Structure 1
Amino acid sequence: MFFWDSTMVLLIPAILLSLYAQFKISSSYKKYAKIRSRSGLTGAQAARTILNNHGLYDVKVEPIGGSLSDHYDPRTRVIRLSQDVYQGSSLSSIAVAAHETGHALQHAAGYAPMQLRSAFVPVANIGSSAGPLLIILGLFIPAFDWLLQLGIFAFTFAVLFQVITLPVEYNASGRALSLLQEGQMLGSDEVRGARSVLNAAALTYVAAALAAVLQLARFMLIASGRSDD
């Protein structure tokens, strides 16, 4: 993954998209972090309201350190929000909090792509860490050439995880926007701002998935070249 050869050019589209996605999420989040919602709800209050409206009283909402470290933990059924989101009443704060709450609703409803993604976590972690290492060993130690194929096989699970993540994230954002509007926590004009934040965040997942797919294609191209030698 970290060595240079001519196949690196395959990664250029993913690198460019990743840079653009980071710029979009940063600029969109900062822009709407300056706009306070008319409801005055904080991110924590918005999340709690949505959860209570759907009978998910046992799902906790807790603050966590860091910036944009927000996530839902399905193992402990806890929504963890960064301090700015937890305490903030901006459009950005409410949008992010509602998105994470969307994951809690997915979990409660047994949303199939989320269940599939959760099942992939162990093998994806192995594939993302061990796959590139096996590939490098297979490339630079001729006696262990078979490790190249094994590494590509392992890395494939990490790629599948990134691809499966896309519908999970987009669905959570769609749920969030609908719930915010239906619950009258945001007005129609405010929802447009929230959508801008969530669309920018979703783009980062698209960039990650594209990078993973192109990296896999690169590995397969390298393996093909080795077999032709």
Structure 2
Amino acid sequence: MGGAYLIGILVMIVSFYVQWRLKRKFEEYSQVGLSNGMSGKEIAETMLRESGIYDVRVLSVEGKLTDHYNPQDKTVNLSPDVFYGRSVAAAAVASHECGHAVQHATAYKWLQFRSQMVPFLSVASQYMQWVILGGILLINTTPIPLAIGVALFALTTLFSFITLPVEYDASNRALAWIKNNRIVNEREYVMSADALKWAARTYLVAAIGSLATLLYYVSILMGRRD
């Protein structure tokens, strides 16, 4: 189990680094004004309209880096810095979230699969850690509770890996659109791609971290000792 523990620590360190880099990149590119002067809200509404999507609203939500697309109520939710911002960072984030709206409108299979898992995982996540804790305490009596907990955690790990193609595809759609429609110039495009690259890495590290944790629980279940 020592090996799995060390991997978990390493993943945690990398995760902190990636989160720090993402924050720094967003702050840096938030200071670079967009040459066309459009706000994140205007970019989002333009991308939706030119993608033939007219039933998705663009809203402002509180917080920093809280931007997301909600497929349930069909809203692109942008943080104030992105919604009102007229920067390279705002353009990258706004177009990325609209990339998810385009995925939804075109029935992108990975987004559909991910959305189908959400209701079950929302319920399972409330009890999963308690099941795993109870399973560890009862491991010498019966392996069944821990086995159930590991199975539930395996589904969350699968969910984190399914998220990867969803996020990378949304970024690819965003970058292609802002480039083809000349929302950004060449210099701004490079910055936008860099910002979205670091954003995607947060999901990659999260998936790897979830896998490392899963392997740790599996090693306990299988009774392995280093």
Fold match (TM-score > 0.5): yes
3-state secondary structure, aligned to 2:195: helix
What is the match of residue 60 of structure 1? 57
The aligned amino acid for 2:201 is L
Q: Distance in 1 between matches of 2:16 and 2:175?
A: 26
Q: Distance in 1 between matches of 2:118 and 2:92?
A: 26
The aligned amino acid for 1:130 is Y
What is the match of residue 167 of structure 1? 165
Q: Distance in 2 between matches of 1:34 and 1:158?
A: 37
Q: TM-score, normalised by structure 1?
A: 0.93
3-state secondary structure, aligned to 1:68: coil
**Aligned length in residues:** 223
Which of 172, 192, 216 is 2:190 aligned to? 192
Alpha-carbon contact 1:37-1:186 (below 8 Å) kept? yes
3-state secondary structure, aligned to 1:225: coil
Residue 43 (structure 1) aligned with residue 40 (structure 2)? yes
Alpha-carbon contact 2:32-2:87 (below 8 Å) kept? yes
* 1:96-123 Cα shifts (integer Å, max 9, x gaps): 0000000000000000000000011123
How many angstroms does 1:143 deviate by?
4.3
The aligned amino acid for 1:222 is I
3-state secondary structure, aligned to 2:222: helix
Alignment of 1:15-34 (within 5 A): 15-34=12-31
* 1:153-208 Cα shifts (integer Å, max 9, x gaps): 11111111000000000000010000001111111211100111100100100111
Q: Distance in 1 between matches of 2:89 and 2:212?
A: 32
Q: TM-score, normalised by structure 2?
A: 0.94
How many angstroms does 1:135 deviate by?
1.4
Q: Distance in 2 between matches of 1:129 and 1:211?
A: 19
Alignment of 1:145-156 (within 5 A): 145-156=143-154
> Unaligned regions of 5+ residues in structure 2, if any?
none
Q: Distance in 1 between matches of 2:69 and 2:5?
A: 35
> Unaligned regions of 5+ residues in structure 1, if any?
none
* 1:5-48 Cα shifts (integer Å, max 9, x gaps): 73422302311220121121011101100000000000000000
- Cα RMSD over matched residues? 1.5
Which of 50, 60, 72 is 2:69 aligned to? 72
Alpha-carbon contact 1:126-1:154 (below 8 Å) kept? no
What is the match of residue 221 of structure 1? 219
The aligned amino acid for 2:16 is L
Aligned-pair identity (%):
34
Alpha-carbon contact 1:91-1:193 (below 8 Å) kept? yes
Residue 94 (structure 1) aligned with residue 87 (structure 2)? no
Alpha-carbon contact 2:143-2:221 (below 8 Å) kept? no
The aligned amino acid for 2:203 is Y
